[in-house]
Amino acid sequence: MRETPLSNCERLFLLKAIEEKKRLDGRQAYDYRNIKITFGTDYGCCTVCLGKTRVLAQVSCELVPPKDSRPTEGIMFFNLELSSMASPGFQPSRKQSSELLVTLNRQLERCLRNSKCIDTESLCVVSGEKVWQIRVDVHVLNHDGNLMDAASIAAISALCHFRRPDVAIQGRDITVFSPEERDPVPLSIYHMPICVSFAFFQQGTYLLVDPCEKEELVMDGLLVIAMNKHREICSVQSSGGIMLLKDQVIRCSKIASVKVSEITELINKALENDRQVRKEGGKFGFAESIPKERITALKREQAPVEMKDIEETADEIVREAEAPSEAVHSPVIVATGTGQVGEGLQNTWGLEEEDAEEEFQGGMDGKEKKKGTVCVCVCVCVGCAGFTHETIVQLV
Amino acid sequence: MAVDMRLPTVRKQISLSGSQSTDGKHLVVPGDVITSDTGFMRGHGTYMDDEKLTASVAGEVERVNKLICVRPLKTRFNGEVGDVVVGRITEVQQKRWKVETNSRLDSVLLLSSVNLPGGELRRRSAEDELAMRDYLQEGDLISAEVQSVFSDGALSLHTRSLKYGKLGQGVLVQVSPSLVKRQKTHFHNLPCGASIILGNNGYIWLYPTPGQQDEEAGGYYTSLEPVPLPDREVISRLRNCLLALAAHKVLLYDTSVLYCYESSLSHQMKDILKPEIMDEIVMETRQRLLEQEG
Amino acid sequence: MPVDTKRVRGPDESQSPLVFLPPTAQTCEVLRRPGDRGKGDVRPLFARCGLVSQAKGSAYIEAGNTKIMCSVYGPRETERKDDTDMKSGRLVCDVRLAPFSCQKRGAWIQGSEERDLSLALSESMQPGVCLHRYPRSQIEVNVMVLENDGGVLAHAVTCASMALADAGIEMYDVVLGCALRQDGDSCLVDPDFSEERGSWQAGYGENQGRVTVALLPNFNQVSGLHADGEMREDTLTAAVRTCMDGCHKLYPVVQQAILRAVKRKAPPPEK
Amino acid sequence: MAGLELLSDQGYRLDGRRAAELRKVQARMGVFAQADGSAYIEQGNTRALAVVYGPHEVRGSRSKTLHDRAVINCQYSMATFSTAERKRRPHGDRKSSEMSLHLKQTFEAAVLTQLYPRSQIDIYVKILQSDGGNYSACVNAATLALVDAGIPMRDYVCACTAGFVEDTPLADLCHAEESGGGTTLALALLPRSENIALVQMDARLHQDHLDALMEAAMMACKGLSKVLDSVVRQHLQEVSVLTRE
Amino acid sequence: MATVQVSEAEKVYVMHGVRDDLRVDGRGCEDYRHMEIETDVVSNTDGSAKVSLGHTDILVGIKAEIGKPRPMVPDEGYLEFFVDCSANATPEFEGRGGEELGVELSNTLYKVFNNRHSLDLRSLCICPGEHCWVLYVDVLLLQCDGNLFDAMSIAIKAALFNTRIPKVHISEDEEGVKEIELSDDPYDCMRLNVENVPCIVTLCKIAHRHVVDATLQEKACSVASLLISVTHKGMVTCVRKLGRGSLDPDSIFEMTETGKRVGKALHAPLMELLQKEESLGKKRQKVGFLA
């Protein structure tokens, strides 16, 4: 399936909002969305949620002969997959998604392998014959923009979490111990590079951190900077055909260093939590990390968007709107049972009118509900982060 | 059997003797500011950057009144209404042919823009539509004139004149469009015994000078009779001369072609394209052209 | 790199046991061929049309131990729209050597040898087929070599032309193939696998080569010619002539097989 | 690469250059007759060929046609014999696809694509000999080829690499310097406006050094742009002398 | 451009021309276009050559690597061919578009060299059964204006002539482990005997005659051509009919005869040129692509 293109009015709206320093989900320009890091029951398995973007990383290892050119070094292998589960636009045959795939994979490689964040020499078992190959598989589960940052956080967290089996060498015999026999060993990690993406708009005039999918659709270009908390830059990559100035790059690197230290902190906390839970013998794994919520289809989180203006505007609309009373008194009936407005016939599902209304009202923001009088429900459509707001004016 | 193997020749540095070099010309490269005077109009090969008129291609600045454009040395054909082109049919579509004319988009020849056998004012019927491939099929060469230019830059051609239409036996030579000099007529019957169509798009058609009887053919019948050997010799020699001139970036028009032909006569036809002979012939041609001018 | 995971692979550095066979003590001069076959004789041929019921036409050929089957599909709409040649159809040939067909196990994926055979087959078959009768469509010829005992290309040509005839594709003439192995001054027509490769190992002598010819017998036109090795020109010329003779010898067999298939298919004559 | 000293105490590099010195650059425009534009460049021992076709009608699937500008299509490949160790495939691996993508993005920024709606411009580059700075050689060659083809651009695009050793930025790295695992920055610059069309950096570098490194790379790019400029002007002059009427 | 379109009338013109022994570019039926050859153009290789024939441009690089000999022939090295039809030549070859032609060309090269005399493979043996030189012959197609086969074979011959394989010394330690050492001296190297390397002649059948060195236009006018590879002694190492047409046996014999004659005649000027180039020595100004 082709990705639905963004409509022109949405595009204009987004760009206008960005110009006014507003983002759809109420963030500031340099804010990240909520990051949640959870670990699986196995070592080396990690999911990262960045807002609605969700990425899973799994680390595994294998004994392989080393490369001829580097006989004493272990091998790192990265593979990132885009499945059509994450977004209907991701299909391997489509050129656009394969380009994205190449970019993400190479960026991940450069960020983690070329910056030598892992001591590959410690992965050597027998020089020139057997070394560990550490394989990092990253799967994108849901795509809501900024896959790169999510993938890099997931990959490095998973690597930190991973434990490889212990080995012993006696003469020419290599013994690999199962986790029961000997405790698996963690990898030795020098530093933790994390990617921070900057989206540029209007030929580089505006800049946003952590763009969501809609923002990615309207951006001109992207700059990805990978850094660690020691303020060392591990990779820089611009893409998308934008013109940058040197100062912009340097400014971005400064922002990145702040963001990276926050995220590193978060990863460490998550790792610590996991360790704690495991030590105490508590429950861990993905199942535990899913919050127990009642499944209610119309439940809505409080929109983080500043609603003040909107409420005022809504009030204004209400004030100005003359109650079209005719609409109530003379409902248009096209044919029996159709075209009904207001109270009327029973619905065919046999539900009580009462219930339906209650449910509906539950979905509205409470403050806008004025029982018994004209009920105006104004939700403003900003169409971001999954909040669908529509301007509905309904008279009861 | 003849085979001529050699080492590559080192390119000679062309002496840029100050006397007759480029002093009269204003040469620019991409990014060069042509003028910061705002009174000029922006033409091809330029763009506005901070109120400054800047070149976007490498070439020579041309100024017509207030209009400034830069003509690149080599480019695809940028057709204008009235240009004579030679092109090849690449596709037969509904009511139109797609024609390859060395432009940046394929040109279009509408069924309504051709003269069909049986008179100019005949209505185009459904049968004509079905029989389009009988008139012109993929691979056929035509000569035509640019009728109009679409908004996206594609050319619309027409062949509504007896001089245009399907081309018969002959040889096509392809050169850069900028080497073809604009003239009153691009159809010439050269006195050496062959005819030439110098298409503005750099496609040049050499063919035996037609006899009288070919005139009423309406352009869609091509004779498949063998061309006599002397005619072939002239055409082949002209072809090689055109390539030699193009390799040395000499503007192509009837006089330059003819002079080159005459100076090549002392050599064998197949030798014309050998570098040293090419140099010699072209040098001689240049000399004669200069004399004629001066 | 996708590997065949369903099969237990040998160790990375493994070699075929054939390597360790003592080199065949063949002399340059093959004195006698198995059976009563003379040097100029082709092997007896078993040819039958119509064994793949799903295909438009099919054929099976057996010559010595060489076993080849071929199925023909089409004409159908061409897949490649960008080919501008609207006036004539396309003949798509695909030759596969079954993994078990040679002494050494082959891969399932088409290798360069198979691609070469496919191209050679396509070039040999095209002159025989009236492709101009099938504008804008394609005819698919799939050849599967079940056992390779020499002369694969030659027999594939014969087999394919029988299958095409069985499919009712219009043809100018059947195309017949014949192979030959030149070994010094002697030449072996329709060589088997060991003859084809055999003494080649030790052969530093002159005039060593292999020739395959595809012939349209009624038009006396050569539609395919492939030779390698090292030969004098006169030897080559003679070898081509011998191959053409070989093709003519095959003709009655192939003709009969096709006729038989036609008779079987034809409705019984009305009384 | 412990034993290898990239910068001697006297301030000389492995091949005897100074820190900010570029390798010898030689270039030629119009190498091939059949293409619309072509160029060849030698940067030290790195050699690259670039060929441009178009602008022409969009080939293949019509769906990629853009109605407001031209499609830029790039393919990067390396001759199988270009590297010290023979390459198995000339293109199609991850690194080459990434390189193709980067080239495409670089030139989308520089070429005035909006002038050619519904058309396509093909840029094919081939590394004949690889000795570090493949990306930059390709960009420089492609720039020359685009100029040769008469395709309008905002400005030249010049690319160069820079590294960082012992607090000193090195310009235009050769293969030995690149493969040492040190910091490598590749930068494509539009020299006149100092706009960066593409920036890419590998391996660790402290944030405080970024400014110096980028400055060095930009200086190197400007140096290169002078060379390219002289090549183009030379070519322009030669040809226009010939075509005078 | 791998193929060109030609109209019917142009075809007729070309055919009649061939009949009169006057081709469109003024050549006779057995004339080659003029050819430029240069060796040693890529310094990363052990041998290289660039050949341009008309607008056909071919670059060949040869790399020698130490490999394991084939088990069937333990005392010989071997050649590997790869033809890269790059998108430089024509946009049609973009992506995997050139693969089909590339495989066809390299398969033909294997056939051409599939004999014992073309190149002395035994000289490539280092240590029987264990080590040998593998010559990777990589052909890069840069521009395509017809007659790829002939140009390619000439380029390969020139590149093989130019190839210098470093000498190796095999030392054996106490345990019998062999160690291979490459000679450090760049002048201490082995050269190949290219005397017997064949050249390919492609004859295009046009109307009732055949022409050598056909341009793309001429190729489009012919339905069948015959490829013959010939050594300097006139031995034929490979014959192949190309194209979708068929040939009369008599014309095949006629074409083989011409092919042999033309092919034989190609070797002498080629070797002469290569010797001449070598005699210029190091001072020779290298032209490469800067010409």
What secondary structure does DSSP assign to D122-185, as a single string?
EEEEEEEE-SS-HHHHHHHHHHHHHHHTT--BSS--EEEEEEEETTEEEES--HHHHTTS--EE
Give strand pairing partners of D169.
Answer: D164
In a domain, E2, yes or no: no
Residues E212-234 have pLDDT tens digits of: 999 999 999 998 999 999 999 99
Model pLDDT, residue D188: 93
What is the extent of the structural domain holding D74? 25-242
Nearest chain D residue to E140 by CA: give it: D79
Mean pLDDT of C224-238: 91
Please tell me chain C's helix, strand, coil percentages from 3-state DSSP, rounded to the nearest 5.
30, 30, 40
CA E144 to CA E216: how far, in whole Å? 9
Residue A351 has pLDDT above 50, yes or no: no
Angle of helix A147-161 relative to helix A246-280, nearest 10 degrees, comes to: 40
CB of B1 within 8 Å of a chain E CB? The answer is yes
CB–CB contact B88 E5 (8 Å): yes
Contact A151, A196 (CB under 8 A): no
Query: Which of A83-97, B32-46, D111-125 shows the highest mean pLDDT?
Result: D111-125
Looking at the structure of chain A, the number of domains it has is 2
Instruction: Please give the structure tokens belonging to residue A2.
Output: 């082709």
In a domain, C25, yes or no: no
Give strand pairing partners of D126.
Answer: D49, D77
CB–CB contact E248 C228 (8 Å): no
- Average pLDDT over all residues of chain E: 89
What letter does residue C43 receive in the DSSP assignment? P
pTM score: 0.87
Model pLDDT, residue A202: 83
Q: In chain B, positions 39-98, which contact chain E (CB-CB < 8 Å)?
A: 88, 90
What is the extent of the structural domain holding A381? 308-343+355-393
Residues C55-86 have pLDDT tens digits of: 999 999 998 889 999 999 988 887 665 555 66
CB–CB contact E7 B268 (8 Å): no
Angle of helix B229-247 relative to helix B275-293, nearest 10 degrees, comes to: 80
Nearest chain E residue to C14 by CA: give it: E71
- Separation in Å, CA of D95 to nearest CA in chain A: 8
Mean pLDDT of E25-29: 91
What letter does residue B274 receive in the DSSP assignment? S
Question: How many other C-beta atoms can be found within 10 angstroms of the C-beta atom of residue C108?
Answer: 9
Instruction: Please give the structure tokens belonging to residue E218.
Output: 């001429």
Residues B222-248 have pLDDT tens digits of: 677 888 899 999 999 999 999 999 988
Cβ neighbours of residue A385 closer than 8 Å, sequence gap 6 or more: A24, A25, A33, A51, A52, A144, A212
Residue C151 has pLDDT above 80, yes or no: yes
In a domain, A300, yes or no: no
The count of CB pairs under 8 A between chains D and E is 94
CA B238 to CA C58: how far, in whole Å? 56
Q: In chain A, positions 185-244, which contact chain D (CB-CB < 8 Å)?
A: 191, 223, 227-228, 230-244
CB–CB contact D151 B57 (8 Å): yes
Q: In chain C, positions 57-86, which contact chain B (CB-CB < 8 Å)?
A: 84, 86
CA-nearest of D120, D150, D130, D131 to D38 is D150
Asked if residue A325 and residue A274 are part of one domain, the reply reads no
The DSSP string of A251-316 is: HHHHHHHHHHHHHHHHHHHHHHHHHHHHHHT---SHHHHS------TT--PPP-S--HHHHHHHHH
In a domain, D11, yes or no: no
Mean pLDDT of E48-65: 93
Q: Work out the pLDDT band at E200, boundaries 50, 70, 90.
A: very high
HSE-up of residue E262 (Cα within 13 Å, Cβ side): 26
Q: Nearest by CB to C230, from E117, E240, E242: name it.
A: E117
The DSSP string of C88-118 is: S-EEEEEEEE-TTSSSS---SS--HHHHHHH
CA D117 to CA B250: how far, in whole Å? 32
- Average pLDDT over all residues of chain C: 83
Asked if residue A247 and residue A334 are part of one domain, the reply reads no
B105 φ/ψ angles, rounded to the nearest 5 degrees: -130, 155
Contact E239, E227 (CB under 8 A): yes
CB of D108 within 8 Å of a chain A CB? The answer is yes
In a domain, B45, yes or no: yes
Mean pLDDT of C122-144: 91
Residue A124 has pLDDT above 60, yes or no: yes
In a domain, C148, yes or no: yes
CB of B8 within 8 Å of a chain E CB? The answer is yes
Q: Work out the pLDDT band at E201, boundaries 50, 70, 90.
A: very high
In a domain, D5, yes or no: no
Return the residue in C84, C88, C136 with the most chain B beta carbons within 10 A, the one to mutate for interface testing.
C84
Contact D49, E59 (CB under 8 A): no
Cα–Cα separations (whole angstroms), residue E263 to C50, D31, E258, E277 = 46, 30, 8, 22
Nearest chain E residue to C198 by CA: give it: E72
CA C162 to CA C58: how far, in whole Å? 7
CB–CB contact A236 D207 (8 Å): no
CB–CB contact E88 D124 (8 Å): yes
Q: What's the gap between Cα D140 and its chain centre?
A: 4
Residues A292-306 have pLDDT tens digits of: 555 555 555 555 555
Peptide bond into D191 cis (omega under 30): no
In a domain, A46, yes or no: yes
Give strand pairing partners of B92.
Answer: B97
The count of CB pairs under 8 A between chains A and D is 99
Instruction: List residues of C whose CB lies inside 8 A of any E CB.
Output: 15-16, 19, 84, 112-113, 115-116, 119, 123-124, 126-128, 201, 203-204, 208-209, 211, 216, 219-233, 236-237, 240-241, 244
Cα–Cα separations (whole angstroms), residue C113 to B217, C116, C198, E72, E103 = 54, 5, 19, 18, 10
What's A39's domain CATH number? 3.30.230.70
Looking at the structure of chain E, the number of domains it has is 1
What's C159's domain CATH number? 3.30.230.70
Q: Work out the pLDDT band at C166, boundaries 50, 70, 90.
A: very high
Please state which of the ranges A151-160, A282-291, A376-385, B190-199 shows the lowest mean pLDDT.
A376-385
What letter does residue C132 receive in the DSSP assignment? G
The CA-to-CA distance between both ends of chain C, in Å, stands at 64
Model pLDDT, residue C247: 93
Residue B212 has pLDDT above 60, yes or no: no
Nearest chain D residue to B50 by CA: give it: D193
Helix (H) or strand (E) holding E13, with range, is: helix E8-19
CA-nearest of B178, B150, B157, B147 to B90 is B157
- Separation in Å, CA of B105 to nearest CA in chain C: 17
- Separation in Å, CA of C56 to nearest CA in chain B: 32
CB of D58 within 8 Å of a chain A CB? The answer is no
In a domain, A301, yes or no: no
Angle of helix E148-162 relative to helix E249-280, nearest 10 degrees, comes to: 40
In a domain, C18, yes or no: no
Residues D9-66 have pLDDT tens digits of: 888 888 888 888 999 999 999 899 889 999 999 999 999 999 999 899 887 766 778 8
Mean pLDDT of A77-85: 88
Torsion sign (Cα): A83, A86, A87, A88: positive
Q: Nearest by CB to E63, from D31, D73, D86: name it.
A: D86
For residue E235, list chain C residues with Cβ-Cβ distance below 8 A: 230-232
Contact C194, C24 (CB under 8 A): yes
Q: In chain E, positions 116-155, which contact chain D (CB-CB < 8 Å)?
A: 136, 138, 140, 142-145
In a domain, B14, yes or no: no
CA-nearest of E269, E265, E262 to E227 is E262
CB of E101 within 8 Å of a chain D CB? The answer is no
What is the extent of the structural domain holding E108? 8-281
CA C194 to CA A371: how far, in whole Å? 98
Residues A255-312 have pLDDT tens digits of: 999 999 999 999 999 999 888 888 887 777 776 666 655 555 555 555 555 556 666 7
CB–CB contact D240 B179 (8 Å): no
Residues E98-137 have pLDDT tens digits of: 888 999 999 999 999 988 888 888 899 888 888 899 999 9
List of E strands, B29-83: 33-35, 41-42, 46-49, 52-55, 59-64, 67-72
Nearest chain E residue to B5 by CA: give it: E35
Q: Work out the pLDDT band at E24, boundaries 50, 70, 90.
A: very high
Mean pLDDT of D165-176: 88
Cα–Cα separations (whole angstroms), residue B88 to B204, D21, E68 = 12, 52, 54
Residue E48 has pLDDT above 80, yes or no: yes
Model pLDDT, residue C8: 55
Asked if residue A125 and residue A248 are part of one domain, the reply reads yes
Residue type, B93: Q
Model pLDDT, residue E218: 92
Residue A317 has pLDDT above 80, yes or no: no
In a domain, B67, yes or no: yes
Residue C23 has pLDDT above 80, yes or no: no
Residues C177-221 have pLDDT tens digits of: 999 988 888 888 888 887 777 654 555 667 788 999 999 999 999
Mean pLDDT of A350-373: 43
CB–CB contact E103 C229 (8 Å): no
In a domain, C27, yes or no: no
Model pLDDT, residue B122: 63
Looking at the structure of chain C, the number of domains it has is 1
CA B44 to CA A263: how far, in whole Å? 52
Contact A258, A238 (CB under 8 A): no
Mean pLDDT of D177-195: 88
Nearest chain E residue to D44 by CA: give it: E43
What letter does residue C255 receive in the DSSP assignment? H
CB of E15 within 8 Å of a chain C CB? The answer is no
In a domain, C135, yes or no: yes
What's D130's domain CATH number? 3.30.230.70
Model pLDDT, residue C184: 80
Looking at the structure of chain D, the number of domains it has is 1
Instruction: List residues of E whose CB lies inside 8 A of any B CB.
Output: 5-10, 12-13, 16-17, 19-20, 22-28, 30-38, 52, 212, 261-262, 265-266, 269-270, 273, 276-277, 285, 287, 290-291
What's E136's domain CATH number? 3.30.230.70
Model pLDDT, residue C28: 44
Looking at the structure of chain B, the number of domains it has is 1
- Separation in Å, CA of B47 to nearest CA in chain E: 29
For residue E96, list chain D residues with Cβ-Cβ distance below 8 A: 92
- Separation in Å, CA of B103 to nearest CA in chain D: 7
Angle of helix B254-264 relative to helix B229-247, nearest 10 degrees, comes to: 110
C175 or C64: whose pLDDT is higher?
C175
The CA-to-CA distance between both ends of chain E, in Å, stands at 22
Asked if residue A91 and residue A236 are part of one domain, the reply reads yes
Instruction: List residues of D whose CB lies inside 8 A of any E CB.
Output: 26, 28, 31-35, 40, 42, 45, 47, 49, 51, 53, 59, 73, 75, 77, 79-84, 86, 90, 92, 122, 124, 126, 128-130
What is the extent of the structural domain holding C191? 38-79+86-262
The DSSP string of A142-193 is: E-SS-HHHHHHHHHHHHHHH-EEPPEEEETTEEEE--TTTS--EEPPBS---
CA E251 to CA E241: how far, in whole Å? 12
Question: How many other C-beta atoms can be found within 10 angstroms of the C-beta atom of residue C27?
Answer: 10
Q: Do chains B and D touch (3 or more CB pairs under 8 A)?
A: yes
What's B35's domain CATH number? 2.40.50.100
Model pLDDT, residue D2: 42
Mean pLDDT of A320-327: 56
Contact C61, C67 (CB under 8 A): yes
CB–CB contact E7 B1 (8 Å): no
Query: Which of A177-191, C159-173, D192-206 shows the highest mean pLDDT?
Result: C159-173
In a domain, A299, yes or no: no
Mean pLDDT of E189-205: 92
Instruction: Please give the structure tokens belonging to residue C239.
Output: 């070898």
Model pLDDT, residue E291: 67
Q: Nearest by CB to E24, from B6, B7, B236: name it.
A: B236
3-state secondary structure of A96: helix
CB of D65 within 8 Å of a chain B CB? The answer is no
